[in-house]
Structure 1
């Protein structure tokens, strides 16, 4: 579910970036990727000249935590562990092109487009996202497609948090923005069906 949620955002953002980039900007749809930005300095990965979307933290949505795990089916009770609702913290990094003279300018313009995109569209579902391939993916159930409802908001870090973040990622800081994505529902479709408790018997004798 996490990958599906981020893929939906990537697909929609990718289309917007390509449609609105500058005429000299060489970025293409395949350059907007889901990847670990911490691998930016790895020789095995070339993450230069890209927009990289990375998941950097998850948080349980506490307001949706206390949902009943019991539903009644006829005369029986269905016991199911409640779903986990997560908020995702994603980092959108605009990396520099190694051989581009205006690499930093391109990176800043792309980041501006990212902020512009999420400012104009904050709520995402499969139905209101025409550019994602998720809607036609037969490997994703219709139930998951219907449940996917994301709200994206800009999340501001302090300078101390920024230093800690990029220090933990092990890479050099590039132009970036962090977003909080609410909420992703994760659940396992397993349950136990049992008859309701109607009587309580005890072995203790009642004495007068």
Structure 2
């Protein structure tokens, strides 16, 4: 589910950037990628250069939804299932520099501006309101999973100290970036326990009398 959530955002962002880029910018839809930005420092082949890179840097359980009911009624009785884990995802969106472009930094800043514009204009994402994602036509993904993809995206501001720790842990030089908090990604394991319906209720007094 985490991968699908980020793929949905990437597909929609790819279309927006491609449609609104500067005429001189050669970036294409395939240049907005899901990848670990920590690999940029050792990227001798330049596979991560001149790209928009989306990296998952943290996951957080949404504690307000933790204590939901795990019992539901069915036609044949009741079903016990642990409630889904509701996650907030923290994603880092970086615009990396092109190796051979004289004005690479300027292009990177323009692309970062497009990223911020995109999420400012659209904050809620579902499969139905995201026409440019391939998830909607993927027959290997069940309709139930598609319906569960309901994401809210907000800009997350880091302090200078947090920025220093973040890029220090990533082990690379800082590039233009923005961090976003993505709510809510729900993950549920498919197993459950079924029980027959309760047809009679015996009190302690009735059990004593019968014996």
Q: TM-score, structure 1 length as denominator?
A: 0.93
Cα displacement string for residues 13-55 of structure 1 (whole angstroms, at most 9, x for unaligned residues):
0000011111111111111000000000124662100000000
| Cα deviation, residue 74, structure 1 | 4.4
40-49 or 97-106, which deviates more: 40-49
What pairs with 1:8-157 in structure 2 (closer than 5 Å)?
8-43=8-43, 46-74=47-75, 76-157=77-158
CA RMSD of aligned residues (A): 1.9
Partners of 1:164 and 1:189 in 2: how far apart? 38
Q: Secondary structure at the match of 1:33?
A: strand
Structure 1 residue ranges (4+ consecutive) displaced by more than 6 angstroms after TM superposition: none
Describe the shift of the 1:159–1:143 C-alpha distance in structure 2 as closer, same or farther (beyond 3 A).
Answer: same
| Cα deviation, residue 195, structure 1 | 3.8
Describe the shift of the 1:64–1:172 C-alpha distance in structure 2 as closer, same or farther (beyond 3 A).
Answer: same
| Cα deviation, residue 199, structure 1 | 4.2
Partners of 1:32 and 1:190 in 2: how far apart? 36
Determine if the alignment matches structure 1 residue 189 to structure 2 residue 190. yes
Q: TM-score, structure 2 length as denominator?
A: 0.91
Cα displacement string for residues 91-134 of structure 1 (whole angstroms, at most 9, x for unaligned residues):
00000001100000000000000000000000000011010000
Determine if the alignment matches structure 1 residue 162 to structure 2 residue 163. yes
Partners of 2:43 and 2:50 in 1: how far apart? 15
State the aligned residue count: 204
